[in-house]
Amino acid sequence: MPSKRQVKERTKALLRRWGPRIIALYWVKWATQTAVAYLDLVPKQLAWVDSFTPIPLWSWWAACAVLLFLGAIVPPCAGPKAQDIARYLRVAGVGLIALALCVWTIVFYAEQPRGWVSGKNYELIFLAAAASAWALGRNQVGGKQVKP
């Protein structure tokens, strides 16, 4: 029977290795739900954004989800090349989410008289996406990351 200390160390090691992938899967869930929300309806505030993009708004979020999912499913034991590709996919996915959220924030803040209510929420989510990019760009969280 492992001791409490051994269990704690194993748990920390697992979270260190799988942390970026777990965070990416959360963003996959969020982006997928957002894509579904925009399948049938584009809010009036985002109509001009939708007119500028060559693809529907829902497909932007779906593309983010796909990039993040592909980056999340590569296991920590994969080779260095696969790990690098997975990192780039995770960063690209969350980067596109942050870009879209930045646009959403600006659009909703500009909406009068109460657009700021949604704008502040998108702003906070934007900051969370930008902050999580650091963790997603790593193959493990914490400790020293040694490049081969």
Of 87, 86, 94, 77, nearest in space to 129 by CA: 94
Record the tokens describing residue 73, joined without a space.
């499913």
Confidence of residue 146 (pLDDT cuts 50, 70, 90): very low
Least confident of 63-72, 86-95, 102-111, 132-141: 132-141
Is it the case that residue 147 has pLDDT exceeding 80?
no
Q: Tens digits of per-residue pLDDT, 22-58?
A: 999 999 999 999 999 999 888 888 988 988 889 999 9
Rounded to the nearest integer, the mean pLDDT of the chain is: 89
In this structure, what are the phi and psi dihedrals at residue 43, rounded to the nearest 5 degrees? Answer: -60, 150
Q: In the predicted model, what is the mean pLDDT of residues 127-140? A: 88
Q: In the predicted model, what is the mean pLDDT of residues 128-139? A: 88
Of 112 and 116, more confident: 116
Q: How far apart are CA 13 and CA 19, in angstroms?
A: 10
Q: How far apart are CA 57 and CA 42, in angstroms?
A: 8
Confidence of residue 144 (pLDDT cuts 50, 70, 90): low
Confidence of residue 142 (pLDDT cuts 50, 70, 90): low
